[in-house]
Amino acid sequence: MHVITTTGELAAACTRLARCDHVTVDTEFIRESTFWPELCLIQMAGPEEALIVDPLAKDMDLAPFFALMADETVTKVFHAARQDIEIIHHLAGIIPHPIFDTQVAAMVCGFGEQVSYVNLVKKLLDVSLDKSSQYTDWRRRPLAAKQLAYALADVTHLRDIYARLKGELETSGRAGWLAEEMAVLTDPATYALHPENAWMRMRKRVKSRRALAVLMEVAEWRERRAQETDVPRGRVLRDEAIYDIANQAPRNAEELARLRTCSKGFARSNSGRQVLDAVARGLARDLSEVPSLEKAVRLSPEHIAVVDLLKVLLKAAAARHRVAAKLIATTDDLERIAVHGPRAETVPALKGWRRMLFGEDALRLRSGELALAVEGGAVRAIERPQEAERGTQEAAGEMGRQSAERARAP
């Protein structure tokens, strides 16, 4: 199997693919021992050809590939695109556009939640892929023919999957729904790495606002160090150590070494000294500029019951419209709707097509305007018969008054 190993070959291939209206794309990478993913292989396919590019080949310049990714006349088709886009953005500072993510499209079309490529190929094409090369070390050279065939299959079957899903989206009128999701995937903010915001990805296992200030500084230091040295975050400093440091706020190497999560060697190292500097910056922060600790919302028994009803409504809506429930709303969405109702306006489930499919009914169910019933073996949201209910309530009230009068009678 021929692999492109020169810039000239790559340029010629990209020129041919640029004449197509769409190109399927996949990458193989390694990131277990680095912060930034190492691009090891690129697979692409147009309607008439499929090819593999070796980005590790000597003197290989990927500029033609990046130009194709930026070509607005060619739709780039990925499966689970985020990591592929992240690699391209890191290496070239661009985000492929326009794109079509078949994993998201499959969720919109009702093929399950975050369905894998292997399962989607089986469901749509009735083809069973050989997964024996799944854990290949893609940095090694030469790669075996079996490994290359496995890699190429990630874009050849993708052509047929794209055609099937694109057709279904157009027939069902849901192409606009997918476009909303692709807007997020192609937003540069999705891939922006701001070290000062690293603390937001961590759980807030801190006891005070002051501890949070220390956590913010130490997490920022770790993020910068990981990026600069191209080392995974956990190898710089584990999350558990950051929580420990934030809560104990050690002032010197001896105090740092006494923490169960930090060794004496680390405490006395240059990294240890930098961590202590970060602790000092955290302790010196103006607490008025430090976010307050958000307490987890404790749901009342009534709210829990409402969430349970909303889950039933969500499953029913997902089944009726053949859309993955997870794509419509998360458990957090349901809890916020249960507690805040219409005031939960930032909840994704109350916006765009999600509101049309589920959000509006969710609000009406919460307010008592809708009820759930089983019709024809399926759960349905139905209008509550308000007048009948009011009459029943009035009759119950009258019976209560009569009972009270009888109780007072001698």
CATH code for the domain in which residue 75 is found: 3.30.420.10
**Based on the domain organization, do 248 and 328 belong to the same domain?**
no
Q: How many domains does the chain have?
A: 3
CATH code for the domain in which residue 206 is found: 1.10.150.80
**Based on the domain organization, do 84 and 206 belong to the same domain?**
no
SS3 28: strand
Structural domain contains residue 403: no
Contact in structure between 78 and 53 (CB atoms under 8 Å): no
Mean pLDDT value of segment 75-80: 98
| Residue showing tokens 């990026």 | 227
Domain ends where: 250, 265, 289? 289
Task: Pull the structure tokens for residue 315.
Answer: 């499953």
**Based on the domain organization, do 229 and 150 belong to the same domain?**
no
pLDDT of residue 387: 44
Window from 227-236, 274-283, 296-305, 337-346 with minimum mean pLDDT: 296-305
Radius of gyration of the chain (CA): 28
Domain ends where: 289, 324, 356? 289
Mean pLDDT of the chain: 92
pLDDT of residue 403: 54
CATH code for the domain in which residue 367 is found: 1.10.150
**Based on the domain organization, do 261 and 333 belong to the same domain?**
no
Query: Model's pTM, two decimal places?
Result: 0.84
Domain ends where: 175, 191, 207? 191
What is the rounded CA–CA span in Å between residue 319 and residue 315? 6
What is the rounded CA–CA span in Å between residue 377 and residue 122? 29
More confident residue, 204 or 123: 123
329-338's contacts with Cβ under 8 Å and 24+ in sequence apart are 329/354, 329/358, 329/359, 329/362, 331/307, 334/307, 334/310, 334/362, 335/297, 335/299, 335/303, 335/307, 337/310, 337/362, 337/363, 337/366, 338/299, 338/303, 338/306, 338/307, 338/310, 338/366
Q: In what order do the strands lie in the sheet with 75-78?
A: 50-53, 38-45, 22-30, 75-78, 99-101
Mean pLDDT value of segment 68-80: 98
Q: Which residues pair with 26 in a beta bridge?
A: 43
96 upstream amide cis, omega within 30 of 0: no
More confident residue, 204 or 132: 132
Mean pLDDT value of segment 343-358: 93
First and final C-alpha spacing in the chain: 102
DSSP 8-state secondary structure symbol assigned to residue 293: P
Structural domain contains residue 75: yes
**Based on the domain organization, do 101 and 206 belong to the same domain?**
no
State the residue range of the domain holding 325. Answer: 301-387
26-51: pLDDT as tens digits: 999 999 899 999 999 999 999 999 99
Contact in structure between 215 and 196 (CB atoms under 8 Å): no
Cα-Cα-Cα-Cα dihedral sign, residues 398, 401, 407, 409: negative
pLDDT of residue 279: 98
Q: Indicate whether 284 pLDDT > 80.
A: yes
Residue 340 CA to its chain's centroid (Å): 24
**Based on the domain organization, do 230 and 134 belong to the same domain?**
no
**Based on the domain organization, do 155 and 50 belong to the same domain?**
yes
pLDDT of residue 181: 93
pLDDT of residue 388: 47
pLDDT of residue 274: 98
Window from 1-5, 324-328, 402-406 with minimum mean pLDDT: 402-406
**Based on the domain organization, do 270 and 317 belong to the same domain?**
no
**Based on the domain organization, do 122 and 75 belong to the same domain?**
yes
Structural domain contains residue 406: no
